[in-house]
C-alpha cells in the first residue's frame, strides 16, 4: 500500500509539473505577439522623439537614426527655438486645447440631450426627423466647405474659435450613438417612475439619465476631442490669422516650398501629444469607473 501511495503521489506531482509547463508555454505564446505589437505601435512615437532631437542633416542620413544622441537636449532646444521663432506655438496650442475642449463639452451635452429625446419621447414625426438627421452622415464633408465658409464670413466669425467649436458642437453621429446607448441601457419604467415622483423633464435627464450614460459620454468625448484636435481642413478654411491657428495649422505652416523644418515640426508634435494623453487618461478613468454602474435591477 505504501508503494502504491508513493507512486500515486509521484504521478500527481508529474501532472502538476506538466500543467505548470503548459501554462508557462501558453503565457509566453500569448505575451510574445503582444510585446511585438506594442513595439510596432510605440515605434512611431519613439521615432518622432528621435527626429525632434536631430538636425536636418542627421534626419536624412542613412541608415535612419533610431537612437538619441548624447547632445539630444541641446538639439531639441535648438529645434524648439526654430519652432517658437516661426510660429505662435503656445498660443496655437492653447487654441487647440480650448477649441477641442469646448467642442467636447458642448457636443456631449447636446448630443446626449438630443439622444435622450429621440430614445425616450414619442412625438409626431420622430422617425422622419431622425432619418433626416442620419441622412446628413451620407453627405461628404467637403461639399459643405463653401457654404460653411460663407456662413462664418456672414457671422463675422473668421479667425475666431467660435467658428470651430459651435458648428461642430452637435453631430449626427453623436446623437445616433447616444440614442442607441440610452435605448439599450435605460428602461422607460425608470423615467416614468421619476415623473411620478415629481421630477421635471430636464431634471430626469440631468439627475438620472446623465449619470447612467457616463461610459458612452467618456467614449464619445475621446472621439470628439481627437477629431477636433486633428481637424485641419476646417481650420484651414476659417482661421486666417496666424495667432488664431490651431496646432495642425501652425505645424503645417513650417512646410515651405523649398524646405521643410522636420525637427521643429517634430518638437511641436511631441509637445502636442501631452494634452491628448491627459484627455485620454481622464476619459478612460471615467469609462472604467462607470462601466458597471447604472444597471436597473428589476
Residue 158 lies in a domain: yes
62 lies in the same domain as 125? no
Residue 296 lies in a domain: no
Nearest CA to 228 among 174, 154, 266?
174
163 lies in the same domain as 240? yes
Domain boundary among 57, 81, 105: 81
43 lies in the same domain as 142? no
77 lies in the same domain as 105? no
Give me the tens of pLDDT residue by residue for the chain, a chain 298 residues long.
444 555 455 555 555 555 667 677 778 888 888 888 888 888 888 888 888 887 777 777 777 777 787 778 888 888 888 888 888 989 999 999 999 999 999 999 999 999 998 988 888 888 899 888 888 888 888 888 888 899 999 998 999 989 999 988 888 899 999 999 998 888 888 888 888 888 888 888 888 888 888 888 888 888 899 899 988 888 999 998 889 999 999 888 888 656 777 888 888 888 888 888 888 777 776 666 555 454 444 4
Contacts of 218 (CB under 8 A, 6+ apart): 283, 284, 286, 287, 290
Residue 188, H or E segment: helix 188-196
Give the DSSP letter of residue 243: G
100 lies in the same domain as 44? no
Judge whether 52 and 266 are in contact, CB under 8 Å.
yes
Residue 295 lies in a domain: no
Structural domain count of the chain: 2
Question: d(Cα 10, Cα 64) in Å, to the nearest integer?
Answer: 58
269 lies in the same domain as 128? yes
By residue range, what is the domain housing residue 230?
Answer: 85-290
Q: Output phi, psi for 52, to 5 deg.
A: -65, -15
Residue 232 lies in a domain: yes
129 lies in the same domain as 171? yes
**Which pTM does this prediction carry?**
0.81
266 lies in the same domain as 175? yes
Amino acid at each position: 500500500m505504501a508503494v502504491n501511495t508513493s507512486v500515486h503521489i509521484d504521478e500527481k506531482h508529474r501532472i502538476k509539473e506538466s500543467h505548470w509547463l503548459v501554462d508557462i508555454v501558453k503565457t509566453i505564446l500569448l505575451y510574445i505577439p503582444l510585446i511585438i505589437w506594442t513595439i510596432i505601435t510605440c515605434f512611431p512615437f519613439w521615432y518622432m522623439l528621435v527626429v525632434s532631437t536631430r538636425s536636418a542633416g542627421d534626419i536624412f542620413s542613412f541608415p535612419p537614426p533610431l537612437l538619441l544622441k548624447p547632445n539630444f537636449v541641446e538639439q531639441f532646444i535648438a529645434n524648439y527655438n526654430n519652432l517658437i521663432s516661426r510660429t505662435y506655438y503656445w498660443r496655437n496650442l492653447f487654441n487647440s486645447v480650448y477649441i477641442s475642449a469646448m467642442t467636447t463639452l458642448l457636443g456631449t451635452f447636446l448630443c446626449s440631450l438630443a439622444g435622450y429625446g429621440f430614445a425616450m419621447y414619442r412625438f409626431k414625426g420622430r422617425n422622419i426627423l431622425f432619418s433626416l438627421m442620419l441622412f446628413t452622415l451620407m453627405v461628404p464633408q467637403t461639399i459643405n466647405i463653401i457654404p460653411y465658409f460663407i456662413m462664418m464670413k456672414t457671422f463675422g466669425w473668421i479667425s475666431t474659435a467660435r467658428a470651430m467649436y459651435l458648428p461642430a458642437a452637435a453631430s449626427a453621429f453623436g446623437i445616433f450613438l447616444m440614442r442607441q446607448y440610452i435605448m439599450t441601457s435605460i428602461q422607460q419604467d425608470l423615467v416614468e417612475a421619476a415623473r411620478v415622483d415629481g421630477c421635471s423633464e430636464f431634471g430626469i435627464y440631468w439627475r438620472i439619465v446623465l449619470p447612467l450614460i457616463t461610459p458612452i459620454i467618456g467614449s464619445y468625448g475621446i472621439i470628439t476631442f481627437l477629431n477636433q484636435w486633428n481637424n485641419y481642413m476646417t481650420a484651414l478654411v476659417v482661421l486666417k490669422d496666424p495667432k488664431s491657428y490651431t496646432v495642425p495649422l501652425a505645424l503645417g505652416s513650417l512646410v515651405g516650398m523649398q524646405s521643410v523644418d522636420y525637427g521643429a515640426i517634430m518638437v511641436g508634435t511631441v509637445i502636442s501629444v501631452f494634452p491628448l494623453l491627459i484627455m485620454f487618461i481622464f476619459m478612460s478613468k471615467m469609462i472604467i469607473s462607470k462601466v458597471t454602474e447604472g444597471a436597473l435591477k428589476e
